[in-house]
Amino acid sequence: MALELWQQRLKESVTTVDELAQRFGIDPEPLREVAARYPLKITPGYFDLIGAVGDPLWSQCVPDVRELQAGGYADPLAEAHYSPVPAIIHRYPDRVILLVSNNCAGYCRFCTRKRKVGSSDHAVSFREQREGIDYVAADERIRDVILSGGDPLILPDSVLEDLLVRIRAISHVEIIRIGSRVPVTLPERITPALCQILKKYTPLYLNTHFNHPRELTPASAAACALLADQGIVLGNQTVLLHGVNDDVATMIELLRGLLKIRVRPYYLHQMDLVEGTAHFRTPLQTGLDIIRALRGPVSGMACPHFVVDLPGGKGKVPLLPDGLRYRDGKTVITTSPGELVEYPDL
């Protein structure tokens, strides 16, 4: 069967350090070991967005020798512990993550599932997908199924639809979510045919993953428009990354740009304690400072929750700059610019 355009583009992805060396004139040798340990894949579209060595798009997708430094955890969220069957992560009673693939359109160097993505040892089999769906069917508490991976939209339409049909057939499942970075890395994947499929399984939420305003391209905007026009509710999860988006101006441009393409910012994630990603991590205070700077100047519509996913699988906790204080028996609230205002609390 002929490949679809997106499959063709995917095949043209950059997967070797030599291609990087050719285009950017860098020395490929130190990167070979890194790419052997954590796979390299950059779609042609994303590759074209890179402006220069070390820029915010480069650092998200190009291997870096610092990935080989010791420290952090292979599985920082103890997902293995919350995995009753291989394809399921069940940490909260009413919702599960269903891992449907361990491939992505491109591999992000900061990925929380760095230990798994793109590795043949962690491929998700057809049987594991089925086992995962049977698990959901057997637990009536589960009202929310989050398709994740890897990237679920890397699957062909027919496979994806088969999964959606089976999940929708479970009467206690109320909503389906899909987590996908393809609107950013492979916007060609968002075809009218795909949107027609997704629309049938409403309510369906798609959380995508933009990290930098330069990822907001005409192609990614068109992909989001196709989805939104079919009633798919779009959210965004950004990872706070040192040297990529850890400054207020960049974050504001990203968040406002997302609203313009009908994507509602949902989470700003503190970078998990993943092995090989320490160079991306920021102090917690950086995220808090950004959140404080947003409040007021930026619409609440554009403000994500800043969340830290605690080690050991203790769950996500939203962090807020300390707004509420008590002074001389009175309640005092800090405004966005830092003024202390007394509030007649009960």
Ligand X SMILES: *Cc1c(COP(=O)(O)O)cnc(C)c1O
167 three-class SS: helix
Catalytic residue among 73, 82, 92, 135: 92
- Both tokens assigned to 318: 């939203």
Measured between alpha carbons, how far is residue 19 from residues 13, 44, 49, 55, 105 in Å? 10, 12, 15, 18, 17
User: Active-site residue 91, yes or no?
Assistant: yes
The half-sphere exposure of 200 on its side-chain side, counting CA atoms within 13 A, is 16
Does 89 help bind ligand X (rule: CB under 6 A)? yes
Does 292 help bind ligand X (rule: CB under 6 A)? no
Per-position b or e across 190-228, b if 16+ CB within 10 A of its CB: beeebbebbeebeebbbbbbbbbbbbbeeebbebbebbb
Does 113 help bind ligand SF4 (rule: CB under 6 A)? yes
Per CB under 6 A, contacts with ligand X among 151-190 are: none
The residue (of 39 and 321) whose beta carbon lies closer to ligand SF4 is 39
Among 90, 95, 177, 181, binds ligand SF4 (CB under 6 A): 181
Does 38 help bind ligand SF4 (rule: CB under 6 A)? no
CB of 90 to ligand X, least distance (A): 7
CB of 39 to ligand SF4, least distance (A): 9
Q: Which helix (H) or strand (E) holds 50?
A: none
Decide which of ligand X, ligand SF4, none touches 92; Cβ closer than 5 to 8 Å per partner kind: ligand X
A 10 A CB-CB count for 111 gives 21
CB of 309 to ligand X, least distance (A): 6
User: Active-site residue 316, yes or no?
Assistant: yes
Measured between alpha carbons, how far is residue 122 from residues 63, 87, 95, 206, 215 in Å? 20, 10, 23, 24, 29
- Both tokens assigned to 198: 């997704």
Distance CA 105, CA 186 (A): 6
Among 217, 222, 316, 336, binds ligand X (CB under 6 A): 316
Does 91 help bind ligand X (rule: CB under 6 A)? yes
Does 108 help bind ligand SF4 (rule: CB under 6 A)? yes
Catalytic residue among 104, 151, 177, 189: 104
The half-sphere exposure of 16 on its side-chain side, counting CA atoms within 13 A, is 5
Does 117 help bind ligand SF4 (rule: CB under 6 A)? yes
Active-site amino acid positions: 91-92, 95, 104, 108, 111, 113, 272, 309, 316
Interaction site with ligand SF4 (CB under 6 A): 104, 107-108, 111, 113, 117, 149-151, 181
